[in-house]
Structure 1
């Protein structure tokens, strides 16, 4: 299920775009043919309940003032489960699987934030003082 969510978050948009492009431009069809959901990213039929629950609850979390997101709260998952009659051992499974999907989502958010920070750091390095083929205006301590 985590691989299916990772695919949805990171690749599905591009694959859908390539499919639409192939419909408009036959020359792009070879690229769209390569854009298929990997087998490991297929959602098993038994996982539909957990998948729908995570999608229903995914915004029921705290967001930090400086960015960042917390996991979906236990109370939210518990309320959802009670509404749909999920209890006992079924609830423990439900909690673990919805929590696993949420962990995958939070890892994705962290990866994207890290990429953005790295890109911003690179932009700053390129604009501060300009790029001079690797030279820097900072003198290393060994040269003092």
Structure 2
């Protein structure tokens, strides 16, 4: 975490607090250069994602709709079907991660 060393130089106490806060988190994902276009699209389309009610629990994320992916791909001159496959795969990983977060939070309560 390079940013943490920058903060440590300026304010060692703040760096300690931040290090403690982020110690259990996974390191940030650094996509390979060839897939940055899909990574960027997935992040830009995150607000098109529907959330379904969780009943007695928190809302759960749905996948980003094909219509949103196709519109984005058309606008940016990309292959809609190929982009959708990549985004659907990322959505699957995101849904698993979300489930893990909900499970961990329920164990803390």
TM-score, reference length from structure 1: 0.54
Q: Is the 8 A contact 1:58 1:102 kept in 2?
A: no
Structure 1 residue 20: Cα displacement: 4.5
Higher relative CO (Cα under 8 Å, sequence separation at least 6) belongs to: 1
Matches of 1:84 and 1:95, distance apart in 2: 14
Match of 1:22 in 2: 8
Q: Cα 1:65–1:17, aligned 2, differ >3 Å: closer, same or farther?
A: farther
Q: Give 5+ residue unaligned stretches, structure 2.
A: none
- State the 1:80 CA deviation: 0.9
1:117-136 to 2 correspondence within 5 Å?
117-120=106-109
- How many pairs does the alignment contain? 95
Report deviation, 1:112. 0.4
More strand by share: 2
Report the secondary structure of 1:92's partner residue.
helix
Structure 1 residue 105 displacement after superposition:
1.6
Structure 1 gaps, min length 5: 1-14, 121-144
* Aligned-partner Cα distance in 2 for 1:20–1:63: 37
CA contact (8 A) 2:70 2:81 kept: no
Corresponding residue to 1:60 among 48, 54, 62: 48
CA distance in structure 1 between the partners assigned to 2:68 and 2:38 by the alignment = 14
